[in-house]
Structures are given as C-alpha cells and as structure tokens.
Amino acid sequence: MFRHHKVLAAAVATLALVTGCGGAAQAGDGAAKLALDAPLPTTVPDGTKIVVGDPATEVALKLSGQLDKVSKFVQFANLSGGPQTTEAFRAHALDVGAVAEIPSIHATWTGLHVKIVASKFRLDPLNHPIYELGIAPGTTVKTLSDLRGKTIAYSPGQAQGALVLKVLQKAGLTKDDVKLIELPSTGDVYTNALAAKQVQVAPIGGVQIKRYLAKYGKDGGTTIQHGLRDDASHLYVPTESLENPAKAAAIRAYVAAWGIAQDWIDKHPKEWIEGYYVKDQGLSESDGQWLVDNAGHPDISADWSGAIQRQQETIELLAKETGNPVIQAKDLYDLRFESVAADAIKGAAK
C-alpha cells in the first residue's frame, strides 16, 4: 500500500509539472466565476486548456479521426480511476477524470467538491456485468448465501468495495458475517490473492475474469454472477473548473466529443479491438473480442433520473456501512450536462 501511494504521488507531481505547476483547474485568468447554475458557455475561447484523464477515449478519438476537434483545448493525462484522479484534482493538476460510481461520492466525503458531467451505462446490464465474483480454488461458493463465513477482498472507496457491500446486502448478510480483507483492487492483485488463497472471494473484472478461469479453472477456481448492476461509468470534474467560463465551455465540448467516441467504439468493434486492446493495451485479439462481447452495447441517456436514484441507494448503503453522512446524489450531478453527450450522438448521426 505504501509503495502504491508513493507511485501515485509521483504521478500526480509529474502531472502538475507538465500542466504548469499545478494550475490546470484554477479559475484564474481574471475571469469572473461562472455560477454552477448558469447556462453553459458554448464557445471555447482561444488559449483555453483543460487537462483530461481519460486514456481510452483519447485512443478512440484518434482511431475515429475526431481528435482534431478537441486537441486545440484538451491536454490528455495518462491516468484514470478514483485514487489517481482525486489526488490530481487536489493538486489542481486535472480538470476531467474518467471513473466508476464511487469516486465522486468518496471525494465529496473527503471535502473535495466535484460534479458528474457525463454518464455511460450498459444495455442489458445484468447480463453484461463489469465484475464477477472470483472464487478461490478449494472454496465452494455457488450462491450469494454461500458467502457467509468467507474471506472476501475489499477495497474501500472503490467500485469493487461498494460492490462487495451491495452483494452482502443482497445476500442478507452483514460485514460481521464475513471477513473483509483490505486489498487494493488494481491490476491482478485480486486474481493473485485468489490463486494464493489469501482470500476466498474477490470481485474481478474485465479480462481478469477470462484469464483467471483459463489459468486456475483446472485447479478449481471459478466465478459466479452477482446479479447486480455494476455498469456505471462517469466523467467527473472539480467544481472549480466549472466556475471558469472558458473551462466550462471546453468541458462541455469534450463531453460532446466523448459521447461521439463511445458511439464510435460501439459501432466499430474490430477497429477498437485492434487499435485499443491489441496495439494500445497489449492484449491478444481474443482477449479484446471477449471484452467487447462482455461489454455489450452502451447506454448514454439524456435522462439521468434513474442513474441518480441508483446512486442515492449506493450512497445510503455506503453511509450506513462507513459512518459517513448521507449526501444527495442529485447534488453530485451537473444537470446542465444531462443531454450533452446524447445530443452530440444524435447530431453526429444526421
């Protein structure tokens, strides 16, 4: 864990230097602050720069020939996910981060003011989950009720940690009915912990599911479906970036480009597999195809009411389990952006 924090701190420090001594998200420039309920500016002034931590979309924009539409005002940073983006926000080194459901909640609880400006989900989400529950060799878990008494990998403040709490709730269990082992949910930490029987159960996602079963299935390693929605994917920003009129306009333009890029990914699976999973991520073509099939199709809606309701349920569960105050999910969403991505997709299809 200590090494992880040192690496993260070094990454944020480097980003701060690259973006000009940590000035990425400062309102500055002598401009009056934009109220958070004021209409969004639609023209990006010359000289505006926002720093965006969204590596996958950067590749999609390049592959689709759309990068020129944002390159004038977007500087990409090679980071994403809650811990990295939150630290970069605190260092004023980042304006937009790509994350799952939990980071905006966790950031708010730690005093960082953020807003969600784009949301993507999955069609038929229960049949296209991001995570499955990995079961260690020698452990028998066939239903969620079998989790009682098991050791389970747990990462507070991250999507996998919240999923574990949701799974326990669905099974009618509490944290006292299992033994939670805190481990960072990065890379292959969880699959290695399962293989070494450090834990008996762990939520594993993406290609780790395929690889875990291929490598340890012969030894008795298995996975089971959890039957819950785990498909939330967001862009979120520090509110101070939205208070800068020029940056607010640039963020709006980026969200529109992001929406078109997600639609392009969905409609060009072969190009995405080759250009992103194989060439950028170093995966095999079969791994890439598995990921595309597992993801299904995206759901980018102009109506966030369902998303807000689901996030409120998550907040209330996490608040109960962690002792943090209940906050209002609707306050985490900047509704001025609600239809930006969906409208851009429709506009591009004309």
Domain positions in the chain are: 2-123+231-349, 129-224
Helix (H) or strand (E) holding 189: helix 189-195
Q: How would you write the pLDDT of the chain (350 residues) with one tens digit per residue?
A: 333 444 454 455 556 544 544 445 444 455 699 999 999 999 999 999 999 999 999 999 999 999 999 999 999 999 988 889 999 999 999 999 999 999 999 999 999 999 999 999 999 999 999 999 999 999 999 999 999 999 999 998 789 999 999 999 999 999 999 999 999 988 899 999 999 999 999 999 999 999 999 999 999 999 999 999 999 999 999 999 999 999 999 999 999 999 999 999 999 999 999 999 999 999 999 999 999 999 999 999 999 999 999 999 999 999 999 999 999 999 999 999 999 999 999 999 88
Topology of the domain comprising 2-123+231-349: D-Maltodextrin-Binding Protein; domain 2 (3.40.190)
Token pair belonging to 55: 């590596």
Token pair belonging to 15: 């980003």
Q: In whole angstroms, give the CA distance from residue 235 to residue 177.
A: 35
Burial class (CB in 10 A: 0-12, 13-18, 19+), 6: exposed
Strand order in the sheet with 151-154: 179-182, 151-154, 201-205, 131-135, 222-224
Homologous superfamily assigned to 129-224:
Periplasmic binding protein-like II (3.40.190.10)
Give the type of residue at 78. Answer: N
Contact 221/137 with Cβ under 8 angstroms? yes
Given this chain, do its domains 2-123+231-349 and 129-224 carry the same CATH topology? yes
Q: In whole angstroms, give the CA distance from residue 58 to residue 52.
A: 9
Q: In whole angstroms, give the CA distance from residue 106 to residue 102.
A: 6
Contact 303/324 with Cβ under 8 angstroms? no
